[in-house]
Structure 1
């Protein structure tokens, strides 16, 4: 399939899927040592008792004439008592493994993986690099189990591949994992609100590659976790840095977003801009993407034309990166666009598939979640360990590590699996949704594959916390990082 074909352009509404799947997700290069949690069952070693000093015996001196004071002999050091033998370090109390919930038995824990089906996308003209998802997770689980599993439990992984657009395929994957496979926790790539089938409908924990925000968290009763930083925090942190850098100064800004849940981002960003003295002309929601491509394009063009007529001379885009760029290119509007979605950090070749010109892309820049480069990912020991686990078991079909999309997929899935295992280990032997949440919220700061300084707490359910500036590079046909990662503040 040639890039830029009519088929690929007709599927422009899938672009939210493409970048999220194909590249490294949520890299955080924050310098800081990880806090190592002690095993829950370990007991502190009892300190040896303090040595007691023996009383010294002093002999009476010979009698002297009364007028002479008795002379006291110099103190002699008392004999040291024999040192008490050190008490042996007590063995850790074994974790009692309980058949505590669906998907959790005394010997096994069942983990679901809801992964986007790249082959289905390829059959529709979307040119993404293939990745052996089922074999990769089988290798990660086998490697974990050979090292003792999760407190002795065997991890059993069930992978369900799905087409990510529309309710039916998402619901089918949810039902397969929860009803047929009866898993306890799902690692997922669900878009929009579809992960709520796991958390809200079934009440089970979900560890996403992305997508956690306040509304979804509230509806999930705290069961939604993610590796990539919180979606609202990403937008607020990105826009705050744009304000600090003076990117928006003197501009008439139009805030653009698409799907209704993205209103949360607009509600957080608009007052931030206004407090900084930036002129906000208006907020322009387009609506969720539909399967009718012509209708999607027309809706986006209508919004772009309205913004142009209203005098907007800078778009702050809170949603899908590429759709509004395509629209301004179609209507011939040369307007700068500030991007906040993590897609801009993905460094993929989607711009080619969508026939975006260098002229249109040169008008854009992004401040969004910091993601590691392929080189940074491949240099990370934990990512190397995940790849080695796969190569050891499926060496006849090695990963093409010269392909950035393959490296990104290997990193994303390695990181999500590692976070899920880390929480399950912290939950101990009695694993339930409640103990899973408590364990996750107690992790504090730790490292994940290609993400140093990750953190989870009662106020933070997404591990990442750093943004970075990205500018378009024509030679790479993508946005490349400029400067160092920037820390962000938590958002309510």
Structure 2
């Protein structure tokens, strides 16, 4: 691998871990569409789109009786008086025939559709999509994160949804804008374009670090991310930030809890490693769990937030790993960016195992090639983190299959490389985020505002999404994912792969 590519790749991955806060240049919310008109849906309930994750059964009560059960006469236990009179006189009067007249079916309450907020009219809902640009990343850094036409995917999903009645009778319009996730400037551009120019209501996005706050905190619009929710961002978003991937603290607590249960940390002198200062909150969340379990925690170690200066980053990280080695650490528990500390222990020649909690370890990118890390170093690493299905698991999932079928129907001449785990992973993530957004909008009804969007999301309870079972949202849980899984490095595959089944996590907080 050429040194120039390595340098540029390292810069890119360090930048992903530390982006600036969203600046105030994004502008302010300008809601000029409230109350423009009211229309009433037809008396028969307007058709709604089947949920991407449950095969079109959204709204069905899993405990409701089937038609077969409804026709079956329920068994009735005899009352105490009936039992006493079982051998009584034969001339007892026959019981009156029950009234079997069927109750008339109530007329469904019509859904009143109002032009209630920016991006919401009586007939349309406008959704924005902020998507990382895989073509730019490949051209600039030589990293293929899975290239496929994201804009065409969302157009196909919208067209398919609209052909089946849209969302409570409203058509969905999507605007996809791509960006490069380095620094805040390109994210700010996308935020401004979607909110101020495209006039969207809700944004589905892949913003890194705090950049989604331009949507929620600055403009007051809801955001459904692929990842990135944590307590601080949620508080600053006034409850308008949602995500499909498990919330960041829950990932760490769930992963460490399972490591403790499995005995992975028993007998080790553990060093807690983190990078950017906000990640210290993850350390503070897991350290009490370790100490309560009797794990020897030697200390907490951080090289500080990385910058775009690769050499400076390496010097800072190597200094920290050398200090850990001198302190007698024989197990690193990393709650931050996966790659930096692994590269560092390779550079200094320290043969130490590393346990990880970051979802990067489940992404199955070609880590050895992109980072020039040796197999024997990676073989000493493992992760317990948010569950991400393998390519085979995703393609076998009904929700993903329906999403893929919609794309192929609308773009039959646009082949997708379904042999690529990165393509399937990216496709699954977008399908899942779209499905969650639609589910919330359907639940919000006819008067859609940021407040009713939030209330609808918090009332969803438990449901399935494409390649994500047992998802849930509630007032105390704004990220859908609830499962963690163990990942180990397999040299023959040159990546981390899941070992065992997904594991349910407990609530955090």
TM-score bracket for the superposition, by shorter chain length: 0.7 to 0.9
Alignment of 1:151-300 (within 5 A): 151-300=168-317
The answer on 1:88 being equivalent to 2:104 is yes
After superposition, the Cα gap between the structure-2 partners of 1:270 and 1:84, relative to the gap in structure 1 and judged at 3 Å, is closer
Look up the SS of the partner of 1:124 in the other structure: helix
**How far apart, in 2, do the equivalents of 1:350 and 1:188 lie?**
24
| 2:349 match | 332
Across the aligned residues of Structure 1 and Structure 2, the Cα RMSD in angstroms comes to 2.3
User: How far does the alpha carbon of each residue in 1:380-413 deviate from its partner, in whole angstroms, 9 at most, with x for none?
Assistant: 1111111111111111111111111111111100
Question: Deviation at 1:281?
Answer: 1.7
Correspondent of 2:486 among 439, 444, 469: 469
The answer on 1:118 being equivalent to 2:134 is yes
User: How far does the alpha carbon of each residue in 1:321-362 deviate from its partner, in whole angstroms, 9 at most, with x for none?
Assistant: 111111111111111100111111122213211111001101
> What are the ranges of 5 or more consecutive residues in structure 2 without an aligned counterpart?
18-53, 62-88
**How far apart, in 2, do the equivalents of 1:379 and 1:123 lie?**
32
Question: Deviation at 1:80?
Answer: 5.1
Alignment of 1:290-369 (within 5 A): 290-369=307-386
Look up the SS of the partner of 1:294 in the other structure: helix
The answer on 1:144 being equivalent to 2:166 is no
User: How far does the alpha carbon of each residue in 1:55-105 deviate from its partner, in whole angstroms, 9 at most, with x for none?
Assistant: xxxxxxxxxxxxxxxxx9946648859x56423323322211111111111
Alignment of 1:17-166 (within 5 A): 37=59, 74=91, 77=94, 85-128=101-144, 129-166=146-183
**How far apart, in 2, do the equivalents of 1:73 and 1:267 lie?**
78
Q: Is the 8 A contact 1:365 1:470 kept in 2?
A: yes
Question: Deviation at 1:289?
Answer: 2.8
User: How far does the alpha carbon of each residue in 1:200-257 deviate from its partner, in whole angstroms, 9 at most, with x for none?
Assistant: 1111111111111111111111111111111101101111111121211121111111
**How far apart, in 2, do the equivalents of 1:426 and 1:298 lie?**
51
After superposition, the Cα gap between the structure-2 partners of 1:293 and 1:275, relative to the gap in structure 1 and judged at 3 Å, is same
**How far apart, in 2, do the equivalents of 1:272 and 1:148 lie?**
49
Question: Deviation at 1:259?
Answer: 1.8
**How far apart, in 2, do the equivalents of 1:388 and 1:186 lie?**
24
Look up the SS of the partner of 1:368 in the other structure: strand
Look up the SS of the partner of 2:159 in the other structure: helix
| 1:444 match | 461
Q: How many equivalent pairs are there? A: 445
**How far apart, in 2, do the equivalents of 1:464 and 1:358 lie?**
31
**How far apart, in 1, do the equivalents of 2:312 and 2:303 lie?**
11
Question: Which structure's CA Rg is the greater one?
Answer: 1
Question: Deviation at 1:17?
Answer: 8.6
Q: Is the 8 A contact 1:13 1:323 kept in 2?
A: no
Q: Is the 8 A contact 2:383 2:488 kept in 1?
A: yes
Look up the SS of the partner of 2:13 in the other structure: helix
Look up the SS of the partner of 1:121 in the other structure: helix
| 1:7 match | 5
After superposition, the Cα gap between the structure-2 partners of 1:14 and 1:135, relative to the gap in structure 1 and judged at 3 Å, is same
TM-score by length of 1: 0.86
Correspondent of 2:409 among 385, 392, 397: 392
**How far apart, in 1, do the equivalents of 2:4 and 2:211 lie?**
29
Q: Is the 8 A contact 1:8 1:126 kept in 2?
A: no
TM-score by length of 2: 0.83
**How far apart, in 1, do the equivalents of 2:197 and 2:436 lie?**
24
The worse-fitting range, judged by mean Cα deviation, of 101-110 and 269-278 is 269-278
Q: Is the 8 A contact 2:14 2:308 kept in 1?
A: no
After superposition, the Cα gap between the structure-2 partners of 1:153 and 1:253, relative to the gap in structure 1 and judged at 3 Å, is same
**How far apart, in 1, do the equivalents of 2:93 and 2:270 lie?**
87
After superposition, the Cα gap between the structure-2 partners of 1:323 and 1:73, relative to the gap in structure 1 and judged at 3 Å, is closer
**How far apart, in 1, do the equivalents of 2:90 and 2:106 lie?**
47
After superposition, the Cα gap between the structure-2 partners of 1:259 and 1:301, relative to the gap in structure 1 and judged at 3 Å, is same
Question: Deviation at 1:490?
Answer: 1.0
**How far apart, in 2, do the equivalents of 1:285 and 1:341 lie?**
16
